[in-house]
Structure 1
């Protein structure tokens, strides 16, 4: 299925931003967020400012030396306890809890218009933009699109992917549709007042997510879209789907509008990036760069402008440049007329893939920000913990812990767990002298970027822990609350996942080219960090309910020849270059898989794998590359480890590209238009992925 035609060279109208992203991606994905002023202007201290001379090295994490860990999360969200693993930094761990390394030859970095997989593997497209989702959906016709058709077809850019089995050979695939690129979707597209209303309606319908039924191809690791029969679970969620609020902020005056005076009903979900699954088999999808869809920020009441600015909304411009102008179709996107509509976005949304008529729920207890992950696990006493990143420069890492315990099989009880609990934000401390963290990425004298940290409570139910803010205000204006609480500013926290073997938490910090010398700290050790890094967290007693933890950086990304990079202590002459980690996942053996977004090394993005323990710790290998102009999303390694799914987002999204001058023809080849798609890779001989 790979298209191997050479890429076309296009004239760049502007330079890439925030790593290696093309300017077109910056415009359509996040409204050029990196070109704007940093919205976090709080004076929160950086890590090194928090350094205390009394920190003990005995308790700190060193690279390759995690504590004893216990919890595990299955692919479909089922969470269970397992026996504690041995210390990953010891020989005993290599023989016991750690189950092995990786055995595939790395894919060479390239700029091909193809999905290239490691030798011995094959790949194929599972579902692409415009493929029928509902049984009565028409076939995709690029030049004759309609909003009615798009609402029944697979949406545009695809990000988070998760799978729910229906037996051994069938299952449901959930996929987020993060954003639209109208410049690639329509011939002769023009922004603003001149865009045809039907195109704006198509854009609304192309957001959200899809549930599609897929089936295994024979006895292989390949999966295909089911295109026949009833497909009773298939569903499209769009920017116009009716949803409801739940949790402490539901009904709040901050969520009420003229159309919804009770503050309990909202329509649609926007810019859905990463997510998670629950132990009761539902999807959690995070609303990320939702701020870019609104106009009229200059016309809101003065008291609201500070909050809008903190969330990256212009309060001086009526219509930001490049805005999709959803307000021309639905007035609610004009803040001058409906100033509180924006408060109804920025949440984690729960969707039941097994109930195609069910109402999605925006869970207000999880806070409101630019949500990336919503990864669940269980605490030692059986409560549900949810880890979340706020994808922005100098933003924060959060955790929610439910008040009550998960009870297996008690569905009615479990579906209320995310409505009451405590929302925390992370505060980190480095353990090296500030003089040793000089912004170059050079390791401190103790040989590791590491330290300790605390989860600071922000709100629990209707009780606020933030002075001067009510519980409702903390949940609706969570960034402001975290500022006041003194949380630690990070380099774009994105996906956060828990390792099924060692139980540690791993967060992708994608990049932050705005960090200057005065702002570096031990967990963000480089100025103008354009390549990003991976953060490893081990909570006290290996308990997701704990409020203290140790942390380390097992991977500082970039060119291995660059002295500012660190690959877990592994020989850097033998690793693959990696830049801008975005999404992470694990296989059953505990290896970390990393999808990249915006490779700042000048080559296509890809999917990488890295063992986290034993002699191979830090040995990064590139497993696949995505086509020219695309970003690697997902990813998902199946529970049987025979398949790895990746969402190939925005192929051909290069400045200067249009439908009449495409820079990619993936996945269909020839002269076809590029179509964002979910693909699957598998071993040709039926072996496990990576082995």
Structure 2
């Protein structure tokens, strides 16, 4: 049995940042967040401190994994369980033997493909029997009048009409009246100027470079057309629905904080308008046909802060990395202290109205939103889930008070666009059901065989048409919605290991939370392991499964369990919902999650700490094969897998920051993807389909 690949860079240098990220990715994507002081210094109660009576449950078998790993492209070769491997574990011998016996029969429908092996190929590696194409890449023209991409002669005007940089969240929605066409909506999270501009001087960027970066951020909408014989997609340039939203596009601020003194600036004394959106990471689609986009690491764009509230959001006191404050005073908090209060929200975008003004919904709170996803109550009210992607920050949900209306009239659409402005914002508190002594930080399962427990949603504030009410002592409603992290601190929310994407399963209603990693857990004076975050120095992350009481999303209590504890299956501190670990793919650092039409969970990774490139994985969530996890693809050198969409006949992924490896530049590329040697490296969207035209994984 070959071992997993060592954690090294493409050129052999050791990875120096948490997980498998390069220093360059940390620098441009999140402003080196992992190397700064943890923003959350509150002393909340942790679930590991709650001593509960251990419940009598089935004991989970702990088998050693036997996964043969290739260093190049190809399928994972899974060794069958032997008598030796079947005899290992912590439960009774008969139980262990049954749990580790090789599973018979087919994989879950939707997951019937030969897994891709962990590898470091500079390519998008897909299973045998599948094909792929690049749907659209950075710089491809999408608006009328936009020129072809010329990396040596970029302009801000050209970029404003071209597909933006570093695509992340993706959504596909059918175009009414145009059979075979869908509109692809993408986040353009951040720019990496070193990989965009030849001879870039980070200490002295030019105005043209800064304005190009402004135009490369934001959102993009482009109509795509499918090949009827396959799942291949191609972009339709200059379609009337195609659109770019950038750092200079006007947005409406809506909800309970709109018009607050906390949001007023010299350019906007009303506190209701703001230019642009920053660092949009994941997102969601709404039942009423719009898309949601989470403003995540917005802190890194602002300079010269002097306020404690900014420190809680990780905003620095010196110059910013990109030096935007030199070219627009709104990024200089010494001059415009409230400008940062206008970022960190969930953005709503209407892809079917190119003239519409996107909105920032303050009722969903201000923090580093990874995204926002919607589930409707039985009576048609929206419930939005969102994670705050920071070490030791929180999980939130918003329960709307207005019902969705059906129809396509302007009045109906306007009503539905206001659904996320009225309701109650909650933060989660988790309680484990095992004695604290059994949660020792190693990932060893407690005696009841599972990491699980109960929880409550703690109300923070309620917004109505007549005003807003705070539920947090010492904070006004406006303060709760603008300084939401501080409100979570005050009510004792549970500190989590970077809660990122949160997705309700459309078939079961269970909610899945990707917790990417937290290398600071249990280190020094930081919070120690607890049952919801059971490993100290957690470099691989985990997936939490949450069940609302009565399966109603508006409930204020819930049950939870860890569905997956990521890492090398050989490591006893991993768990795959009880599925035999010698029959799963290794996975590290879960980030974005999505569901296929069969209810399988698909997981994209960010910063694989096992030495392989990042990838996309499918895992069954129900039945006897629950927990069977299989890798579907990997992405090129330095890239992250983002924005997965899994439809009946195709899988889409956003290949973000390819070639973003320490020492890389335009002059010294570390990847030749997607256009080959001698071409500039470009983030892009990829479509994958079965060669025979069948459904994915069927």
Q: Secondary structure at the match of 2:500?
A: strand
Give per-residue Cα distances to partners, 1:279-335, cap 9 Å, x unaligned. Answer: 11111111000000011114xxxxxx1101100012xx3215xx1011122111000
Deviations 1:153-211 (A, max 9, x none): 0010010000110244101000000000001001111113x211110111111000100
C-alpha distance in structure 1 between counterparts of 2:381 and 2:146, whole Å: 41
3-state secondary structure, aligned to 1:309: helix
Contact 1:61 1:450 in 2 (8 A): no
Determine whether 1:649 maps to 2:642: no
Is the 2:371–2:501 contact (alpha carbons within 8 Å) kept by the matching residues of 1? yes
Q: Shift of the alpha carbon at 1:357?
A: 1.2
CA distance in 2, matches of 1:174, 1:35: 32
Q: C-alpha separation between the residues in 2 aligned to 1:507 and 1:57?
A: 26
Q: Is the 8 A contact 1:474 1:481 kept in 2?
A: yes
1:143-158 matches, cutoff 5 A: 143-158=152-167
Match of 1:468 in 2: 474
- Find 1:288's aligned residue among 262, 284, 296: 296
- CA distance in 2: counterparts of 1:403 and 1:620, whole angstroms: 38
> Could you tell me which residue of structure 2 aligns to residue 670 of structure 1?
677
**Pick aligned residue for 2:695 from 674, 684, 688:** 688
Aligned to 2:227: 217
Tell me the CA shift for residue 52 of structure 1: 4.0
Q: Which residue of 2 aligns with 1:234?
A: 242
1:502 equivalent in alignment to 2:500:
no
* Residue matched to 1:267: 275
Distance 1:147-1:432 versus aligned 2 partners, 3 A rule: same
Alignment partner of 2:401: what SS? strand
* Structure 2 match to 1:404: 402
Structure 2: how far apart are the matches of 1:366 and 1:486? 19
Aligned residues of 1:10 and 1:656 also touching (Cα < 8 A): no
In the alignment, structure 1 residue 453 sits paired with structure 2 residue 459: no
Normalization by structure 2: what TM-score?
0.89
8 Å contact from structure 1 (residues 10, 657) kept in 2: no
Shift of 1:57: 6.4
Q: Please list every run of 5 or more consecutive structure 2 residues that lacks an aligned counterpart in the other structure.
A: 1-7, 62-106
Of the three residues 117, 127, 133, the one matched with 1:108 is: 117
Aligned residues: 634
Q: CA deviation at 1:516?
A: 0.7
How far off is 1:436 after superposition? 0.9
Q: CA deviation at 1:670?
A: 2.6
Paired with 2:59 and 2:459, the residues of 1 have a C-alpha distance of 23
Q: Report the CA distance shift for 1:57/1:352 in structure 2 as closer, same or farther (over 3 A).
A: farther
Deviations 1:124-171 (A, max 9, x none): 100000000102110000111011111110010010000110244101
After TM superposition, list the pairs within 5 Å mapping 1:238-317 onto structure 2: 238-298=246-306, 305-314=307-316, 317=317
In the alignment, what sits opposite 1:592? 601
Summarize the alignment of residues 115-134 of structure 1 with structure 2, pairs less than 5 Å apart. Answer: 115-134=124-143
The answer as to 2:492 corresponding to 1:486 is yes
Find the counterpart in structure 1 of residue 218 from structure 2.
208
Q: Report the Cα offset of residue 615 of structure 1.
A: 1.8
Structure 1's 99 and 412: CA in aligned 2 closer, same or farther, altered over 3 A? farther
Aligned to 2:624, what secondary structure does the other structure show?
Answer: helix
Q: Does the Cα contact within 8 Å between 2:222 and 2:242 map onto a contact in 1? A: yes
532, 542, 562: which one aligns with 1:533: 542
Runs of 5+ unmatched residues, structure 1: 1-6, 64-97, 299-304
Distance 1:46 1:8, change over 3 A: closer
1:141 to 150, 161, 171: 150
Deviation at 1:9, TM superposition (A): 4.7
Secondary structure, in 3 states, of the residue corresponding to 1:601? coil
User: Cα distance, 1:219 vs. partner?
Assistant: 2.3
Q: Distance in 1 between matches of 2:602 and 2:132?
A: 17
Asked if the contact 1:61–1:552 (Cα under 8 Å) also holds between the matched residues in 2, the reply is: no
What is the alpha-carbon distance in structure 2 between the residues aligned to residue 16 and residue 270 of structure 1? Answer: 27
* Deviation sequence 1:256-299 (CA, Å, 0-9, x none): 0111111011000000000111111111111000000011114x
CA distance in structure 2 between the aligned counterparts of 1:682 and 1:100, rounded to whole angstroms: 16
Aligned mates of 2:180, 2:693 — CA distance in 1: 15
Q: CA deviation at 1:218?
A: 3.0
**2:613 equivalent to 1:633:** no
2:446 corresponds to: 444
Aligned partner of residue 431 in structure 2, secondary structure? strand
Work out the CA distance in 2 between the residues paired with 1:62 and 1:284.
38
Matched, 1:392 2:393: no
Give deviations 1:564-599, integer Å, cap 9, x for gaps: 111111111111100000000010111010000000
Q: Cα offset for 1:546?
A: 0.5
Residues in 1 aligned to 2:588 and 2:329: alpha-carbon distance in whole angstroms: 40
Is residue 217 of structure 2 the alignment partner of residue 188 of structure 1? no
Question: Is contact 2:119–2:634 with CA below 8 Å preserved after alignment?
Answer: yes
How many Å separate the matches in 1 of 2:189 and 2:51?
39
Deviation readout 1:637-671 (Å, 9 max, x if unpaired) = 12xx1011100000000001111110101111132
**Preserved CA contact (<8 Å) 1:372 1:388:** yes
The TM-score with structure 1 as length reference comes to: 0.89
Query: Does the Cα contact within 8 Å between 1:62 and 1:450 map onto a contact in 2?
Result: no
Pair 1:359 & 2:357 matched: yes
SS in 2 for 1:616: coil
Contact 1:11 1:656 in 2 (8 A): no
TM superposition shift of 1:687: 1.3
Residues 8, 145 of structure 1: CA spacing in aligned structure 2 closer, same or farther, 3 A cutoff?
A: farther
**Aligned match of 2:347:** 349
- Residues 473-520 of structure 1 show CA distances to partners (whole Å, capped at 9, x for unaligned) of 000000000000110000000001011221100010000000017610
SS of residue paired to 2:152: helix
Q: Find the aligned partners of 2:404 and 2:356 in 1 and give their Cα distance.
A: 22
Shift in Å, 1:413: 2.4
> Contact 2:142–2:236 at 8 Å: present in 1 too?
no
> How has the CA–CA distance of structure 1 residues 48 and 226 changed in structure 2, closer, same or farther, with 3 Å as cutoff?
same
CA distance, structure 1, for counterparts of residue 110 and residue 697 of structure 2: 8
Q: In structure 2, what is the Cα distance between the partners aligned to 1:614 and 1:47? A: 30
Q: Are the counterparts in 1 of residues 50 and 435 from structure 2 also a CA contact under 8 Å?
A: no
Cα 1:396–1:235, aligned 2, differ >3 Å: closer, same or farther? same
CA distance in structure 1 between the partners assigned to 2:597 and 2:483 by the alignment: 38
